Structure 1
Amino acid sequence: MSTPTVEIPYLNISDPSFAMQSEELRNARAASWYARTNYGFAVLRYDEVSKLLKSPKLKQGSAQWPAHNGVHGGLFYDWWTKNLLVLEGEDHHRIRRLLNPAFSPRLIKDLVPRFQALANELIDAFIDQGECEFIRDFAEPYATRVLTILLGIPESEWPKIARLASTVGLALGVTFKRDLDKVEAAVAELYEYADELIKDRQANPGEDFVSRLVLASRDGDRLSDEELRNALVLLIFGGMDTTRNQLGLAMQSFIRNPGQWDLLAEHPELGAKAVEEVMRTNPTVTWVTREAVEDFTYQDLFIEKGTTVHLFTQSSGTDPLAFPNPDMDLLGEHAPHYGFGGGVHHCLGHFVARADMSEALPLLASRIADPHLTGGDEWLPDSGNTGPTRLPIGFTRRS
């Protein structure tokens, strides 16, 4: 290992006060392409994140997250270590191949009018008040009811789904060990919910996403009931938690960039671009985790087998070496972001997230002007999956 020419920065990423969009992190990125952390290394710049995301010398590292937090068994551990997010090799390839047809862009496209009607219904409920609590009144019900539409279950079930998905989401935060009992109880309830859903669709298949999963078969192979259950729990958790968080972060981004909000109101066709820009500059998934499968040296850094490597998606998406003007710009042309991960673990549900958010954001912009924070906002820790848990905003009705 060569001697570093600069002092390598250190970031305490388990500190609840750690902030991705901070001077500390920007200074670290300016000084070095990587930093040391209390969980291995963090890769901070776009070019290195791009290359390492695709490196065969790294595998998905999130499988070790429970162990990092002293959790070595139990319901959450069993589900987490068997779901698509952390599987590798042929196991990952097989399940992804069987799941893939259910994520049909055609299915999503056919649901767009329902997404639009839902967004307008939620906005109608608070538009005359000039204020709302954005997570409670829009982001959470929208993300969760989109999920119920996709799964073919009654929209009235959304509060239960939201509660369970939010609780499982606590497992990805730095307070995981403290919240373990609540997480375990939520996984147990989701298992029961998914099992009932699978049995119903096996007996009464329809046109919905779950029916497509149940009926999915490739070359005589199909998902076992356990694999179906694991996939559904992942979809319920990921589809609600991350979309709700991302919508909250989108509102934060546009409050900071009012000119871009007005531009979106004038040009709703920029909805898809708005999603990409929010996820590039302010993603809910602030890093993706990998683990070295062998000893290797990348640039000046020796990485030992088993080392955790965090690829910082937010930091890489605003890296001035790759984005000379890194601020949000709906009319700009930028390199691809990694808000949905990358490589073989690129998020399977990205079509769903892109479709529902690209409808919601222009509708919001077309109806409310001058959104601004009114105080009392509350946030998840700024690590792993982040976002607001409360976001009170004021606005005027757009004429």
Structure 2
Amino acid sequence: MGTLATELDLPDLSYLDDADRTWEESRDAADEVARQHWLARGLLGFAVLHYDDVVAVLRDKRWHSASGQILEMAGIEDSEWTARRRQSILSAEGDEHVRLRRLVGPAFSPRHADSLRPFMRQVVDDLIDGFVEQGRADIAVDFCEPYPIPIICELFGAPKEDWKQFSHWATDIFRIFNNNLEEDLPAIVTANIELDDYLGELIDRRRDTPTDDLVTTLIAAEDEGDRLSHDELISLCVAVLMAGTDTTRNQLGCSTYLFAKHPEQWALLRERPELAPRAVEETMRFLGAVRGTVRIASEDIEYRDVVFPKGTIMATSLSAANLDADTFDDPFVFDITREPSNKPQLTFGSGIHFCLGAALARAEQQEALTIMADRLPNLRLDGEVEWKPNSFGIWGPAALPVAFG
């Protein structure tokens, strides 16, 4: 029997949530903590920062996703939210998760993502047309914020006039990760109600009139006679909107910031656009928008001779794991020519909850960065960068003024 985790003398990294810290300061402090011990105390429980430990926790099915328990962990009770909450693929576990993943997996294949690349390129060009002649832009607001919404709407088969409404819903629903639930919960609930109603009507229309879109594909998804229920279809579409909007916005902002700070890498991408796939992996490794994810022990778990009682909260630091010197050569060097390895960057996660839309996200970023590098040469910072608070679960620049050309 191992030692109880609560009995260990461990370094503390809960202070890393300090809103006044820059991301570089938080990164360096996490690296220092990781040098002291493989385990640390976090804000609500424990945390792992080394690559192999993060992967081990994420692949251990006894550690369950905490995404469905955000309100409970924040100590907030809301009867309306509880009454409306339904099972989501983002938080499902065990046989139910296997079933949902088996049914919907084919709809999120690289082939389906690639079919949207021409549309992605059109969206990128249209957005750049809006500011390119000015020679400067707030790339976070003018480009990253609006970019993923038309693509998600195209995926759903939603008309162009609904794009702005989808953007509002996505922004409000994602407030659940902003660590300000007491104030934000009414807007979150309202957005969920409105989106559920919209998607319910869209699903009914697709049953009557199938088209070539994700909703029709999911309605038709079948495995040995098993199909998705109406509520499961709505839940999955909400998950797609959530997982495919704010993450892409913020990651593209982080990536653009990195290139503005490393002009030689931007010039290299412009010269060699075939490096775009590597560039996406490297930007997500070096500065990922999803910096961590949280798990809860579904039973007593012993790992590395340490016992974590049932209910223990474990934070996995994806950002620290992505900079682990035992895994990546020169991890603090940003290099888009870095050779792929059998240990990929972890911003998409690992294990059964590995990002279902990873192929779509990769395609979106590859197309955006390729065209941006071509049309926005000599990219450079043009003012103060404003970062979202450290407490945000999905993080990136709120304002990113750049100049180019």
Is residue 84 from structure 1 mapped to residue 84 from structure 2 by the alignment? Answer: no
The 2-side partners of 1:293 and 1:5 are apart by 21
Check whether the contact 2:300–2:308 (CA below 8 A) recurs between aligned residues. yes
Please show how residues 212-223 of structure 1 align to structure 2 within 5 Å: 212-223=217-228
- In the other structure, the counterpart of 1:183 is 188
* Cα 1:68–1:181 shift into 2, 3 Å: same
CA contact (8 A) 1:12 1:18 kept: no
| Conserved 8 A contact 2:17-2:390 | no
Which residue, 384, 390, 405 being the options, matches 1:382? 390
- CA RMSD after TM alignment: 2.1
1:107 & 1:260 partners in 2: Cα distance? 30
1:328 to 325, 334, 342: 334
Give the Å deviation of 1:285: 1.1
2:290 aligns to what SS in structure 1? coil
Q: Return the match for 2:19 from 16, 19, 34.
A: 16
Range that drifts further, 375-384 or 288-297: 375-384
Per the TM alignment, residue 328 of structure 1 is displaced from its structure 2 partner at its CA by 2.0
1:353 counterpart = 2:361? yes
- TM-score of the pair, normalised by structure 1: 0.93
In the TM superposition, what whole-angstrom CA distance separates every residue of 1:282-309 from its partner, at most 9, and x where no partner exists? 1111111111122233225331211011
Segments of structure 2 that go 5 or more residues without pairing to the other structure are none
Pair 1:7–1:233, CA change in 2 (3 A):
closer
Whichever residue aligns with residue 347 of structure 1, its letter is: C
Q: State the Cα deviation string for residues 120-162 of structure 1 (Å, max 9, x = none).
A: 1211221110111212221122111111111111233221111
Q: 1:70 aligns with which of 60, 71, 75?
A: 75
2 CA distance for matches of 1:386 and 1:45?
Answer: 21
- Give matches, 1:23-34, under 5 Å: 23-34=28-39
> What's the offset of the Cα at 1:2?
8.0
The unaligned stretches of length 5 or more in structure 1 are: none
| Equivalent position SS for 1:370 | coil
Distance 1:348 1:52, change over 3 A: same
* Change over 3 Å in CA distance of 1:232–1:382 after alignment to 2: same
Partner amino acid, structure 1, of 2:180: T
- Could you tell me which amino acid in structure 1 is paired with residue 338 of structure 2? G
- What amino acid does structure 2 have at the position aligned with 1:388? P
Confirm or deny: 8 A CA contact 2:11 2:37 kept in the other structure: yes
Deviates most, 104-113 or 160-169? 104-113
Q: Distance in 2 between matches of 1:78 and 1:330?
A: 47
Match of 1:391? 400
Alpha-carbon distance in structure 2 between the residues aligned to 1:380 and 1:82: 29
Paired residues, what number? 396
| Separation in structure 2 between the aligned mates of residue 242 and residue 287 of structure 1, nearest angstrom | 13
Q: 1:210, CA displacement in angstroms?
A: 1.0
1:245 aligns with 2:250: yes
State the Cα distance separating 1:81 from its structure 2 match.
5.6
Shift of 1:14: 5.0
Q: How far 1:20 sits from its partner (Å)?
A: 5.2
Tell me if the contact between 1:75 and 1:187 (Cα under 8 Å) persists in the aligned partners. no
Alignment correspondent of 1:235: 240
Instruction: Please say which of residues 72-81 and 370-379 is displaced more in the overlay.
Output: 72-81
Cα displacement string for residues 181-201 of structure 1 (whole angstroms, at most 9, x for unaligned residues):
111111111111111211111
Residue aligning to 2:374: 366
Indicate the SS of the match to 1:12.
helix
C-alpha deviation, 1:63, in angstroms: 2.4
Q: Which one is further off, 44-53 or 73-82?
A: 73-82
Give the SS at the match of 1:255. helix
- The answer as to 2:352 corresponding to 1:344 is yes
Q: Percent identity?
A: 35
- The CA deviation at 1:102 is 1.8
In structure 2, the CA distance between the partners of 1:48 and 1:20, relative to structure 1 (3 Å rule), is farther
Query: Structure 1 residues 371 and 79 mapped into 2: Cα distance closer, same or farther (>3 Å)?
Result: farther
| Contact 1:274–1:330 (Cα < 8 Å) also in 2 | yes
For 1:121 and 1:198, locate their aligned partners in 2 and report how far apart those are by CA, in whole Å.
29
How far apart are the structure 2 equivalents of 1:19 and 1:63?
Answer: 29
